[in-house]
Every structure is written in structure tokens, then in C-alpha cells.
Structure 1
Amino acid sequence: MKKTQFVWEQRKMIGMITRIFFKTIFPFLESSNKKDIPVLEKTLKQPTDKLIEAYSLWSGTDVSKYSDSVPPHMFSQFALHLGMSLLCMVPYKISKIINQGVNLKVYGKLSRDKTLFAKTEIIDITEDNGRARVKQKLYVGHQKEETIIEVTLFSAFIIGKKKKTTTFDRTEIEMTTVGEWSVLEEAGYEFAQLTGDFNPIHWVDFIAQKTPFKKKILHGLGQLAKTFESVEKEKGPIKEIELKFIKPVVLPNNKVEVSISTNYIEKDINKLVLSDTNGKNLSVGHISFI
């Protein structure tokens, strides 16, 4: 992949990441007069064919799969900047944000030859145990009031010291492996080129080394993209997928195993687990198929 090939297409997200970076370095830039949070609606520009093809290959699928459509998980490129702009309006420091998970529902195909229309809103904010948890909805279609994909973003803002809590899941669920994927050292930089999310924790060594993880980590939405494609390759079209991030995927990582429950945990819904080579859970959630 040519290093600067898609940078111009990522200018909206790069601008948003830059704003967050400066607010992290200079906290006085944070607004202290945040008011009611609006619903944002906007017509979005389609990603180019070359970008869709490069993104599809990075995600682990053949370009022919999306020859006339846009991957549903590619909202990380064309719509995430809109969602981030809304998160900058909540009454917490954007520099303290943590990505905790994502839910994606697919109702149809996003066509390549039509404009995209997105709406985003904050639907819930709760404060508990040193965290402000924010649930945000993002709806994308080709026109107003049309929803082809529905995304729920789960974020948390650090607002105090978190007390340790212990939870036990005593339910034993039989799981079966349905796919796997791996990522190389440069995966974070590649995903940043494809989406504009140049948060340095994903691609700058000396910054990543100063974090608790000590290494670069893969974007959460990069996990979503690779998991989505690895599962569809084996099980067919996905109707809904949810991942709650437990531990990061450090870079490089030679194998992430994707498993689903043998039986439904609810009607037509399977448990979903991502685990590393040591069997430790990286993400958990659920999945259902068309």
C-alpha cells in the first residue's frame, strides 16, 4: 500500500483526531460550557473505488465481494468523524475517552453509486464507578429516514478512580471456532491510512510504549472489520454483530481466534468471543445471521 495514497480522503477524520490531540496536550482548549447535545445529520461523500478495494483487502476479503457496494463496517472511514464530533459535545474531557465496544446491524447493502446520508445521536449517558458511559447511535442510508446500517458505539470517559469489581460468569457455553485472523506490526498504520484514525497509540512506537499496553494496539473497529469478514466467509451474511472490547490486540499478533456458541444464547443469537493464542478473551459479544 502506498503510504500517502488515501490521506486526502481521510481529511475529515484527520482533522477530528488533530482536534482531540491538541485538547489532550492543551486541556484548556476543552470547552467548559457544553450545552444540550444535538442530533447531527449530514450527507457524506462516498469513499472512492480504490479506497473500498484497499479496505476490503485489509479486512480479509476479496474485492469482488463489494464490487458494487460499500462494506457495512466501513462506517469507520466515511461516518466516524461525525460521531466523534458529537462526542466532543458531551460534558466530559474528550482526551479521557475509551472505546469500549460496537454493535453493527445490517439491513441491506450500501450502494457505491448513491450518496450516503448519516444521522447520529447520544441515546444514553450514565455515571458509575469513576466512568461516564455514553451510548451513541449512528444511522446510515442513502437518504433521510432510511437506515441500511445501524451502529451503536459504546464509549466511556474517565471521571474518577475506578474501584475493582469482581464478576463471575458461571454459565458454561460450548463454543466452536469459525475463523481466525492475524495482524502484522504495521496493521495500525495501514488501518489509519484507510480510515483517517491516526491516533498514535496504534502506529507510533515511542508513544505506545508509554501506555499501559507497552506496545502498539489495533483499532477496535479494525477488530470489527476483520472479525466480520472472517465469520461471513465461513457462516454467511451477518445480520447483527456486537463486540465489547476487554483486552487490546497488540501488534503484531499472529492469531486471533473467532468462536461462536454451538447453540443460541437467545432466539437466533449466538455468543461471540475473540481470543488470543493463550486462550485469553480479547472481546466478547454476540452475533446473528440472515
Structure 2
Amino acid sequence: MQAVANIRLLRHQKEMLKTIFQIFFKWLRPSKGAIQLSKLQCSNHNILPKEKIVLAYHQWLQCHQRYHKTIAPHLFPLWSYPNLFKLGEKLNLPLHKVLNQGCKMIINHDIPLNSPLNTKIEIFDMKDLPSKYRINQRITTSTKDHHDALISEIYAVILKDTKSILSKKRKSSKIDTDSLTFLARKKIQKADAQSYAYLSGDINPIHLSQKIAKLMGLKGSIMHGFGLFAMIYEILKENNFNVTEIDIKFLAPVYLENDIEVFIQAKSENQYQLRVLDSEHKVTHLGGSFKIKH
């Protein structure tokens, strides 16, 4: 049975919660300054992820036996998000309208548990589009022994018209899976969204409240994109893929209490395409690729 994280874990997320409340406050009192679409970067040193959060996160994903004295790489938001948002504030954009659209990880070395980490955070690519601002970010995590142990990139947009984009209708024709290899089927539960919220500090109500999600143009509460990313990564690990690089786009929200199915397709000896579909094979929720080391 999958473990459910305790709400009391939020007391270990003071920095993240402080960041969220600052974003909410700025939404109520928006800045009148000009938008600054400029490249930014900052460095942060001696970051020590809280062991209690790390272990509870591994327990939730049932991957604790895979990470002996190390940290799952997809936990990088834990030690980078508060500083990433602080950097993003300098753009003077409405950060309460941010929507993550995907993530890339290059895993060069293990991340040790109970060892200080250093990060270099960059906002390196920005575009002003008709309905949104596209913002790409990079987090380089260094350990005591390795300068670039983990390189993570986040693809995000900041919406100009939140409701119309979130409620955008998608095609519902049947997706052909004959050329794909089935890996796993998983039910995404309300408890998953609650657990990820308590573990990450991301208490955005579209993941926790049906009413607010519907006010935002959604059909109901949806799972966190990075929570799904973590689940998919661990499904690959369960199937003995030694992942060294993974690049995933979040294409359609996954509503809670619905099933997803994970498919792959070999493109070369060490590279695969990845697709995550709904149970009826009408919606592609996530798509991308990953590389492995034999």
C-alpha cells in the first residue's frame, strides 16, 4: 500500500510556504513596475535538504530501497524552488500564474544524503508570446565531489489569460499504441496530490480543491506536474532502466482519481521515446524521451 505523507511535514517547508504567501500577496497588490525579460542567475551554497522530508518523499514513492544514503534526483525542487522564485521576482511578472510545462534532468552523479549542496540557478531563455510568457530555467546542483552532479531544466509559462488556456479543449481521437511497449498502469489518487503538497510545500489549491480548480477553468483537481514526473521516473527505474537523462513535457493535466498508462518506444540502443496516456488512450498527458546507461 502506498504511503501517504503527513500534513505536519509542512512545518519543515517554511521557506517554500513563505515564498508562496509572498506570491499571493503580490497578486493582491501587483507591482506597477515594468516587466523585465532579462537573463538572470544566482548561486546558493551549503544547502542541506531535510532528511525527514527526503525519507518521507522516498517512502511516498515506495523507492526508499533504491536510494541508500542518496536522494532521488527528481527531488531537486526541494532545494531550489524558493531561490528560483526569488530570482523570478526580478522579472516583475505575475508569478501566481506560472504553469510548469515540463522538465529535463541530466543525472551525472548521485546526490548524497546529509551532505551540503551548492546550486547555480539561471533564467536563461524568455519569450513574450500573445497569450503567455515562456520562461526556461536551469538549476545546476553540485556536491562536495562533483561540480555538475545534476543539471535540471524547467520549462514554464506565465499565463496572461489563465482561464481560457487551462480550459482549452483537446482532441479526443484514439491514439494508436501498436508500436509502443506498455510499461505500467497507475491510478493517480487524491492522496498523491496531498502527499506531494505536504512534501514539497506546493499547496496551490488547484491540486487540493475541486471548487478552486473549477474556478480556474479545470474540470477538477489535478496532480502536480513534478509529482507525476517523479512517479514516471520511478516507474522507469522499477523496470530496470538506468536513466542518465530524461526530458518530459507536460501536455495535458491528470485529474485525480484517474488512471494513467506508461508506454515507451526504443529509438536506439540507449534512447527511448516516452508517452503517458489516459486509460482510454485518447489523451497524451506527458511526452518526451530518456537515455539510459547499460
TM-score under structure 2 length normalisation? 0.86
Superposed CA RMSD: 2.8
Equivalent pairs counted in the alignment come to: 282
SS state at 1:40 partner? strand
SS state at 2:157 partner? strand
Shift of 1:173: 8.7
Q: Deviations over 1:30-74 (max 9, x none)?
A: 65475855311112533333322210122242x221121011000
Q: Deviations over 1:200-221 (max 9, x none)?
A: 1111232123122231111110
Match of 2:191 among 186, 196, 208: 186
Identify the residue that residue 289 of structure 2 maps to in structure 1: 286
**Residue 232 to residue 208, structure 1, CA distance change in 2 (3 Å):** same
Whether the 8 Å contact between 1:100 and 1:154 is mirrored in structure 2 is yes
**Residue 44 to residue 205, structure 1, CA distance change in 2 (3 Å):** farther
Q: Deviations over 1:213-260 (max 9, x none)?
A: 23111111001110000111103221111111111111122x211111
Q: Which amino acid aligns with 2:285?
A: L
Whether the 8 Å contact between 1:177 and 1:260 is mirrored in structure 2 is yes
SS state at 1:235 partner? coil
CA distance in 1, matches of 2:218, 2:35: 34
Q: Matches of residues 131-142 of structure 1 in structure 2 within 5 Å? A: 131-142=132-143
Identify the residue that residue 75 of structure 2 maps to in structure 1: 74
CA distance in 2, matches of 1:2, 1:261: 33
Gaps of 5+ in 2: none
CA distance in 2, matches of 1:276, 1:227: 14
CA distance in 2, matches of 1:278, 1:64: 33
Q: Which amino acid aligns with 2:93?
A: Y
**Residue 107 to residue 2, structure 1, CA distance change in 2 (3 Å):** closer
Match of 2:265 among 240, 255, 261: 261
**Residue 92 to residue 173, structure 1, CA distance change in 2 (3 Å):** farther
Whether the 8 Å contact between 2:5 and 2:60 is mirrored in structure 1 is no
CA distance in 2, matches of 1:92, 1:79: 19
Deviates more, 1:82-91 or 1:280-289: 82-91
CA distance in 2, matches of 1:211, 1:230: 31
**Residue 278 to residue 2, structure 1, CA distance change in 2 (3 Å):** closer
Whether the 8 Å contact between 1:117 and 1:144 is mirrored in structure 2 is no
**Residue 259 to residue 39, structure 1, CA distance change in 2 (3 Å):** same
CA distance in 1, matches of 2:275, 2:141: 27
SS state at 1:12 partner? helix
Q: Which amino acid aligns with 1:201?
A: I
Identify the residue that residue 155 of structure 2 maps to in structure 1: 154
**Residue 247 to residue 2, structure 1, CA distance change in 2 (3 Å):** closer
Q: Deviations over 1:246-276 (max 9, x none)?
A: 11111122x2111111333xx7321111111
Identify the residue that residue 105 of structure 1 maps to in structure 2: 106
- Report % sequence identity: 22
CA distance in 2, matches of 1:7, 1:31: 33
Gaps of 5+ in 1: none
TM-score under structure 1 length normalisation? 0.87
Match of 1:202 among 207, 228, 231: 207
Shift of 1:179: 2.6
Whether the 8 Å contact between 1:201 and 1:207 is mirrored in structure 2 is yes
